[in-house]
Amino acid sequence: MQYSTEQLLWLANHGFHSAILRELLPIPASSLSEDSSLALGLALRARGQFAAAKDRLLPLTTASGWQADNAFFAVLEIDLLTGQTDEMIARLNQSPERLGTERGRLFQARMLAKTESAAGIQSLCGLASDSQISNHIRRLAAFDAANLLDKAGDFKAAFELAQKFHREMAGPANPQGLLEHLDQQIDALNQGFRPHWLHSQTPPTAFIVGVPRSGTTLLEQMLDNHTQIEGIGEFDGLSEIVHTMTSQGVSPYRFAELNESSQANLRSIYVQGARLFSTTPDAWTLDKNLLTWSSLPFLAELLPTAKFIHIQRDPRDVAVSIFLSWFDYNQHPWTSNFRDLYAVLYRAHALITRCLRQCRLEHHVVRYEDLVTKPKDEVQGCLRLLGLPFEEKTLTPESNLRTANTLSVNQVSQSLNQHSVGRWKNYEWMFDEDWHQLAFAAGY
């Protein structure tokens, strides 16, 4: 079917890229409208299929409609993510009419920061403070600048800039719904809950379980280098299933009450999307969707043969990394202040560690700090869980040709290092005794 422009925009804005891929990828490029071609290119980019995304997007950059600008800047984003700085500069210089636009100015500032950090920071801060441009561009500029300030050692300025924009932009962001969702699961576990063991055979499927900024991308990039593992990034299949169920008035936590046909149909949504680009039928798919950590009991029933790799990191380092990044406040309303960060991370520790053990999920635990100091030991533990032999290439995430499409792209494109271990000490004034007790409970 051909989606209308409104439908395509809705799917894209709600992160349902797999639905777009399933419908549009089989259609010959010559038969797609410009709207559909753009949506497909953006969906491929979101899935980390950057070469294929460029193939779809580049022809649109010379069109005359709104699709042309969106395609052009999507290609620039791919250039930025993949380190193609020269190509990015050349594209901008070949389109001087776009230099003066909001997005053009943002990319110019980003390019400047690549060669002249101080000048780049100044340019980004100028964009961030310009009330005449959109809040979206201001946010991107502000958090780019905050991370450059952090890298330069100006920690107070980095914190104050991030804090300023969180306060201005978060608005009425309220994490209460998430907190109640986590508390309900913790209460159920306290009462002895265990998932229904449903009979289902699915292709080899593994999940990386960890809160944002805990090292999920690094671990995925390392394991994805294995010949029998296919990383699928922050795949949206789980979100699509939850949306499908809730739109029909069925709670995801009543999955076991569905008839076998309905269960199979929902599983197929996940499996087909997860293996859309699979080239090896027996390979493991490795999913690092950020919903996984908060939905373990549901996943145990949806995919009962799945295996789980739990990555832990010092919660204080996680908090700093999240605070200096911008997350969509609608999806992650708890990321804009340390009070809400603590409330969620406290519950996350309680839920994940308890659920993996009590629900008897096949799992392995990795510590981020050990992953960057003793990578071979940690990777071998993950591979034993999956029944796979060790391969040396898993120790070099920077060699992975499938570039990560997450906030961690700059870190995982480098060789393993300990630069982010103990980062919280640069912001020690933000952590009270509750934080230190949480860290202690997590083994730090």
Give the DSSP letter string of 90-145.
HHHHT-HHHHTSHHHHHHHHHHHHHH-HHHHHHHHHHHHT-TTS-HHHHHHHHHHH
- As a whole number of angstroms, the distance between CA 336 and CA 168 comes to 10
Quote the Cα angle for 369-139-340, to 5°: 55
List every span in the chain annotated with CATH 3.40.50.300.
Answer: 176-441
Ramachandran bin of 233, using left for φ above 0, alpha for ψ from -120 to 50, beta for the remaining angles: left
List every span in the chain annotated with CATH 1.25.40.10.
Answer: 5-169
DSSP-based helix, strand, coil % in the chain, nearest 5: 60, 5, 35
SS3 284: strand
pLDDT at position 14 is 63
pLDDT at position 412 is 45
Ramachandran bin of 102, using left for φ above 0, alpha for ψ from -120 to 50, beta for the remaining angles: alpha
pLDDT at position 1 is 46
- As a whole number of angstroms, the distance between CA 313 and CA 96 comes to 45
- Reported as half-sphere exposure (CB side, CA atoms, 13 A), residue 96 has a value of 0
> Are the CB atoms for 175 and 336 separated by under 8 Å?
no
Count Cβ atoms below 10 Å from residue 252 Cβ, excluding itself. 19
CA dihedral (285, 321, 139, 403) positive or negative: negative
Quote the Cα angle for 132-134-136, to 5°: 150
pLDDT at position 280 is 83
Q: For domain 5-169, which architecture applies? A: Alpha Horseshoe (1.25)
Q: For domain 176-441, which architecture applies? A: 3-Layer(aba) Sandwich (3.40)
DSSP 8-state class, residue 27: S
Count Cβ atoms below 10 Å from residue 259 Cβ, excluding itself. 8
- As a whole number of angstroms, the distance between CA 228 and CA 214 comes to 24
- As a whole number of angstroms, the distance between CA 243 and CA 95 comes to 40
- As a whole number of angstroms, the distance between CA 161 and CA 139 comes to 10
Q: Token pair of 208, please?
A: 């990386």
Give the DSSP letter string of 336-361.
SSHHHHHHHHHHHHHHHHHHHHHTT-
> Are the CB atoms for 87 and 79 separated by under 8 Å?
yes
End-to-end alpha-carbon separation of the chain, Å?
Answer: 53
- As a whole number of angstroms, the distance between CA 218 and CA 213 comes to 10
Give the DSSP letter string of 50-79.
HHHHHHHHGGGGGSSSHHHHHHHHHHHHHH
Q: Residue with structure tokens 């593992």?
A: 229
Task: Please report, in tens digits, the pLDDT of each residue of the chain (444 residues total).
Answer: 456 666 666 666 666 787 888 888 888 888 888 888 888 898 888 888 888 999 999 999 987 778 899 999 999 999 888 888 888 888 888 888 888 899 999 999 998 998 899 999 999 999 999 999 999 999 999 999 999 999 999 999 999 999 999 999 887 778 999 999 999 999 999 999 888 877 888 899 999 999 999 999 999 999 999 999 999 888 888 888 988 899 889 888 889 899 999 999 999 999 998 998 887 888 999 999 888 899 888 888 999 899 999 999 999 999 999 999 988 888 899 999 999 999 999 999 999 999 999 988 999 999 999 999 999 999 999 999 999 999 999 998 887 766 555 544 454 455 677 778 889 999 999 999 999 999 999 999
Q: Does the reported pTM lie above 0.75?
A: yes
pLDDT at position 80 is 85
> Kind of pairing, strands 205-209 and 229-231?
unpaired
